[in-house]
Structure formats: structure tokens, C-alpha cells
Structure 1
Amino acid sequence: MSTFLFAVPPLTGHITPLVAVADRLGALGHRVAWSGEPTLIRKLAGEDAEVHLCPPGPTDLEARGAGLRGYAAVQFLWEEFLVPLADATHDAVAEAAVGTGADLVVADMQALAGPVAAARLGLPWVTSATTSGSLRDPFAATPKIRQWLDALFADLVERLCPRAVPPLTPATLERSPHLVIAFTTEALAGPADPGGPSIVWAGPAPRQRDPGRGAMLAAAGSGPGGLFPWTWRDPSRPLVIVSLGTVNNRVGGAFLRACCEALRQLGDRVQGIVADPLGVIEQAPDNVLARPYLPISRLLPHAAAVVCHAGHNTVCEALTHDLPLVVAPIRDDQPVIAQQVVDAGAGIRLRFGQATPGLVAAAVTDVLANPRYSRAARGIGSSFRAAGGAAAAAAALVSLAEEQGR
């Protein structure tokens, strides 16, 4: 049996898909250890998860970067967060790999300490692409940005592992030459760059948890906002879910209010449920329910469409349930994911800062009324279900570990 070390950043959406893979590897008799922030990992992977502590890295990032957009946000992400995080954590990841006797390091695409530590130790590593934004070069059309990022990566490699054999390069730092696990499919992401690394298109990897207190609370719809009022739901009207994920709420007030007003304009034709953790919607109309917490996995099977920020996990959750989307990307890889949704025919893209109630209402009306959006969403959902999810990802990791161990 093999030992796998999962290196992850302190970001919920980048840990969640790997939790299901870790469960699968454990069920097959393999050992999985984590390198990262213990509280968050154990919250997601369970209290019994083996976690090796990493330093926290930069702090106060959400407040400092909240108002940034476009390439300013990209620059902030890499220069202020991800590269400093690698500087702070690469020694801890290497120590965890040595201490556990890891056969393979599985590094999230934004946990650069993973490939750095693996290259220093001569271990194979796999890139976990928890978002499809990195499967094709998002800066191919902007060579100056590409050169800036490559220079940033080259400097990191020169500082942290200049004598690695084979040498670590900006390209292999970003995507492992051994294997990339993509938690999506080509039906959404499109084909990867030709000549790139080997990719396993695993599709989304939701966790299959054993019954227990956490599962019972989720089934009841319990959370920070209390029990979910299921009796409010009118099944005769299409349900539209609005969510900006877990890290965008500081900048989302105007957008959420615009969505709420758009749904009011649609009146009895729809019902809407809005995730509003900061309470920016003071009074929702009768056909809209605003809640700080949504039991999203329970709501999606009853929904007809999703309005969101084009976060990869939210998009994939919606498409897993064959739901068309209205996407308004904010930053980071979200514009890339939003364009994938549009190119695949599964939704409509709006500009986040210019999404008036009228534009939102028109987009929601279109994705609900035009069958081509639902048809495209069903095609992507079918590809997700056929891809294999956590089982396919785990099988690929086991195969590579066995191959490298020969």
C-alpha cells in the first residue's frame, strides 16, 4: 500500500474535492496525510484526518484584496498570497513528506510548496486542478502577463530548489509533468493545451459521507441560519438559486440586491433563494427567500437555474444537476470558468459590476425559457457522471504510485 501526502492551501474550495479522493484512497487501504491548516482540513475531512501543520502564510488578504479586479487581482493573488505562502510552507511540506514516508505528493494547483518540496526530495508529484482555469494557459493572449508570471515562478524555483533533479521549471511548477487530476471534463473545460501533461478528467468529486450527526444536520437544512423553511417552497414555480460562494460576499452586496430585485420583477413566474451571509438584503419580496446559509446539496435537485460568480465548485455543482447558469465573474479564474460556461452553451455571462436588475431578469428568463441552455447543461452533467469522480482520481493516483515504485 502507498502513502499519499496532500498539500493544500487554506482555501475551502481547493480542499473539498480532495476530501472525497482521500476517502476513496483510505477505503482502498492506502494512507493519506495532509499538509496544511489543521482546523480547516479537519472541518472538511473529519476530525480523524492526519494533518501535518503548515505555517499560516500571509494574513488579512480578504480585506486587502477585496476591491481588486482584472490583472490587479491576479497580481495580488500571486505576489501577495500564493508565492509568499509557498515561501512560508515549503519546509513544512518537505518535513511532512519525509516524516510520513510519502510515495507521492498530491499538490493543489495553488499550493506551490507541494511541487517545490517534492522536487527537492526527488519525489513524484501530481497537480490537483480543483479549477479548470489552469488546464489551458489563461494568459496565452497576453504575453506580458505570461512573462511576468513565469519570471515570478522562476525566481521562486531559484530560491527554494535550484538543484532539483530533474530541474523544476515554471511550467512544471504550474502543472506536474507526471499527472494532472482535473475535477472537470472536456465537455465544460474544452481540450487542454496540446503537448501538455497527462490529464485525468475525473469530473467533480463530491464526498459520500456515512450517516452521522453532520449528515443529519445537512439533511434537516440546519446551519447558522437555523432550520431551513422547506414549507415556503412552491414546487409549481421554477426555483432560481443565487450564490456568490464563500469568499466574495464582501463585494457582493449590490449584486445580490440586483438579483433580488430582478426576481421581484419576475413575480409569480419564479421563486428565488439567495445566499446572503452578511445580511445585505433588508427586505426580500414574497417570491424570494434570503438566508445566511443554504443547504445547497438539498436545494439543487429542486432548482431550475443558478445565478453565481462562476466559481468552479458552484458551477460544477449546478451542472452536475443539469442546471443552466447565469454567471457574473468577479476575479481570479472566474472569468475563465464563465467563458467555459458560455462556450459550452450552458449559460449567459453578465458583467458583475454592471448587472442591473433588468439584465439579471432578462438573463434568468432566457436560461429558463430557451431549451438550448438546459440541453447543454444536461450534456455536461452527463459527462460529469460518466467521468468517475473520486474513484477515477484515486485509481489514477494509485497507478502512478505503483508505477513510480517499480
Structure 2
Amino acid sequence: MDRTARGVRFLLVVPPLAGHVTPVRAVASVLSSRGHSVAWCGPEPALSALVCGPVFPAGDSGPFDLALRPPELRGFAALKYLWESYLVPLADAMVPGVAAAVAAFAPDVVVVDQQAMAGALVAARCGVPWATSASTSTELADPLGSLPKVASWVSGLQAGLRARHGVLLGDLRFSPHLVLAFTTRALAGECRVAVPVSYVGPALPAVPGEWSLVDDRPLVVVTLGTSNAAAGTRFLAECVDALAGMPSVRGLVVDPSGELVSESVQLARWIPQPAVFSRASVVVCHGGHNTVCEALSSGVPLVVAPIRDDQSMLAQQVVTASAGVRLRFDRAKAGDIREAIESAGECRPGAERICDSFAAAGGAEEAATRLELLG
């Protein structure tokens, strides 16, 4: 009997990061609705706060809060920190818990976020088919291809991981069975890595929430995501000044710290992004993959001010697709931000083309179908 007919057991291995859990959570909901058994595995207690359903603990989430990262890190310093102080220690810390989860849950398929390499290590060691969840598309573009020394350094760190855990597998970021890319070629371009990638488009929340506009003026939303509060103070303040000087628009700035003050710009510590973005005319953001995709899923053009990590490449994807404009995060002043917002409005046709490509890709439903075939 086809296992999709009787139900497949899926173990979802993720880091304690909301942006990486979000697309997998949408896929998990579809899998459950189709009669499959789904369980989560990751560092606690952070993971239980992000998901519903059974959770197998894999280490302590306390040391792996990205908010602890020094906010001034940029470029190679940020990459070095990410690998040496986060990804590799996270993998080492998670392996025992993932191994226990595989033994207890006996999954048919393991779904592994690219930043939770312990899942790849254990699945390969146990001979269980596994799929990569590429919550961001940048690794598929081979960003280190033109930096052979940096690429060799990353390969060496992975080799150390594999040796410590008795695995001969190649690159832990890419499953040889299936790589789910939560984007489309229209935005990300062609994959430059020889892996079995499926472009399924964004897997967005099924219930986006509600949001009421204050007035009829075009809405401009500014958000820097969930992990950039310390780094974003100056930029957000400049955005408030920029929007205060644009009386023809309604400005909304997400300020997690609650420190900003304005009489003319609306401030919020948190917003239901899909619902708010569906009402927006422009979104100003840092280039986080979920934020970019949630805006473009509503055909909303972007102003992208990348801070670190993969955000610079995502900003370039947005510009190349004519779906938005780019700003220098560290240098942008109120006048620069105001000009970028005005220019971004001209990019709506490009944003709408990406929106159409997302709708055609299938999202969480298509991702679930691909995983069923693997099972």
C-alpha cells in the first residue's frame, strides 16, 4: 500500500528561530490535515512557543537566541559568528535530542531546516529519507562560489561536524533527496547548486489575522523583523522622521522596543504582517526572507535595507526582479528613506509579477505533496 494512503510519520527538525519555523509550520498544518503524523524537534523551551503539536526537545534554546548576537557585526564577521558561534554549536547541541526523537517517533521522513544541521546528521546516520527546508533561497545561489577561501572554511567546519558524529554525507545544507525552496525562480533565479530543488513558493500562515486602516491614505509599513531590535534603533528613528515628512501617506513603524515617539506616525510593537501588508502601498524592511515574501505575496513593492546574513542577496533579488529598491542600512537618512519610498511605488508591476509566480507555485500544499512523494 502507498504510504500516503495510510499516513506518513514526519519529524520536523528546526532551530529556535521564528522565521525558520514559519514556513514549516504551514506545511505541517497541511500534512496533518491530510492524515499524516507530524512531530517537531528542536531546542526548548523556544520551540514549543512557536508550534502546535508534539515536540521532542533537542537541547536548550537559551544560548541560541540570535538577539544575543553583537548588533555591530557585518560582512565576514557576521558570517564567522553565524557559523562558529551559532550553527556548529547548535548542531552539536541538538544531535542527542534529534537521535532520541528519531528512535522514539520512528519517522518515515525527516524534514530539516538548513540551520538545524543536526537533523541531517541523524537522518543520514539512521538511514531515514530527509528533505531540506530552505527557508531562505540564498544558499541555492551559491553565495560563496566566488569566495573559494571562505567556501573552504565553511566546508572544513562541516567536515568537523560530520567527523564528530560519524557521518559521511556531503553538504549538510542540502538533502540528496529533496530541497524545498520557499520561493520561486521569478524572484530567486535559477539554482546554482546541483541539488534536487523544488520551488514551491512561500508557505504563508493560513489565518493572517485582521487589521483596520486608520484612514484612506496609502499605507507605508516599516519593519525590521524579530531579531534586529538592538541594531535597528537608528534606522527606525530615521524612518519615523521620513514618514512624518510625508503627509500624503499613513506611516506605520514596528518598534519592538517601544522607545520611539511620534504624533503623526503610527507605532506598534508587533503587527500581523500578512494582514497589514495586504493593505500596504510600500513595505520598508531589512530583507528577511519571510518579510520579503509576505509583502510580495500581496504584490506590494519593497524598500530593502539589508543588515547582515543573507539579506543583501535577498535585496539584490528584489532589485533584479524590479520589485523594489535598495537602501544602505547604516547610512540612510530620513531624506534617503523618503526618496526610496517614493521610488518604490513605481515597482508595483514587478511586485505583482512575483505575486503571480507565488500563487502559481502552490505554497504549503505543494510542499506537502512533494514530501508525501518522498515518504
Residues 272-283 of structure 1: pairs in structure 2 closer than 5 A? 272-282=251-261
**How many pairs are equivalent?**
368
**Alignment map for 1:285-364 (pairs within 5 Å):** 285-286=263-264, 288-364=265-341
Q: What does residue 148 of structure 2 align with?
A: 143
**Partners of 2:306 and 2:105 in 1: CA distance:** 40
Where in structure 1 are there 5+ consecutive unaligned residues? 210-214, 222-229, 402-406
Q: Deviations over 1:174-200 (max 9, x none)?
A: 111111001111111111015x11111
- Answer whether contact 2:43 2:94 (CA < 8 A) is retained: no
The answer on 1:70 being equivalent to 2:83 is no
How far 1:64 moved relative to its partner?
4.0
The question of whether the paired residues in 2 share the 8 Å contact of 1:125 and 1:178 is answered with yes
- 1:82-93 maps to which residues of 2 (within 5 A)? 82-93=87-98
- Is the contact made by 2:87 and 2:116 (CA closer than 8 Å) also made in structure 1? yes
Paired residue for 1:265? 245
> Which amino acid in the other structure matches residue 366 of structure 1?
S
- Please list, as runs of the form range in 1=range in 2, the aligned pairs for 1:81-120 lying within 5 A after superposition: 81-120=86-125
**Cα distance, 1:299 vs structure 2:** 1.6
After TM superposition, give the deviation of residue 161 of structure 1 in Å.
Answer: 1.8
Cα distance in 1, alignment partners of residues 300 and 145 from structure 2: 30
Computed over aligned residues only, the root mean square deviation of the Cα atoms, in angstroms, reads: 1.5
Of 310, 332, 349 in structure 2, the residue corresponding to residue 375 of structure 1 is 349
C-alpha separation in 2, matches of 1:20 and 1:64: 28
Kept in 2, the 8 Å contact 1:119–1:161? The answer is no
- What secondary structure is seen at the aligned counterpart in 2 of 1:397? helix
Corresponding residue of 1:168: 169
Match of 2:58 among 39, 42, 54: 54
Bigger helix share: 1
- Letter of the 1:174 partner, please give it: R
2:190 aligned with 1:191? yes
8 A Cα contact 1:240 1:306, kept in partner: yes
The structure 2 residue matched to 1:366, chosen from 335, 340, 343, is 343
Q: 2:227 aligns with which of 230, 237, 247?
A: 247
User: What is the rounded CA distance, in whole Å, between the counterparts of 1:274 and 1:240 in structure 2?
Assistant: 8
Aligned sequence identity (%):
46
Give deviations 1:126-168, integer Å, cap 9, x for gaps. 1000111111211112111111111111111111124xxxx31
Normalised TM-score (structure 2) = 0.94
- Hey, what does 1:207 align to over in structure 2? 205
- TM value normalised by structure 1: 0.87
Q: How far, CA to CA, are the matches of 2:75 and 2:29 in structure 1?
A: 37
Tell me the distance in 2 between the aligned counterparts of 1:208 and 1:63.
31
CA distance in 2, matches of 1:389, 1:302: 21
Q: Which residue of 2 aligns with 1:391?
A: 365
Amino acid at match of 1:316: C
Is residue 320–residue 380 contact of structure 1 (8 Å, CA) maintained in 2?
Answer: yes
Shift of 1:279: 2.1
Contact 1:179-1:200 at 8 Å conserved across structures: yes
CA distance in 2, matches of 1:122, 1:160: 14
Measure, in 1, the Cα distance between the counterparts of 2:259 and 2:150.
Answer: 36
> How many Å apart are 1:120 and its aligned residue?
0.9
For residue 249 of structure 2, what is the amino acid of its counterpart?
A: V
Tell me which residue corresponds to 1:234. 215
**How far has the Cα of 1:63 moved from its partner?**
3.1
Deviation of residue 119 (structure 1)?
1.1
Distance 1:191 1:295 in 2: 31
Contact 1:139 1:145 in 2 (8 A): yes
State the AA in 2 paired with 1:380: I
How far, CA to CA, are the matches of 1:61 and 1:381 in structure 2?
Answer: 30
* Superposition deviation, residue 271 in structure 1: 1.2
Q: CA deviation at 1:38?
A: 4.6
Query: How many angstroms apart in 1 are the aligned matches of 2:125 and 2:272?
Result: 43
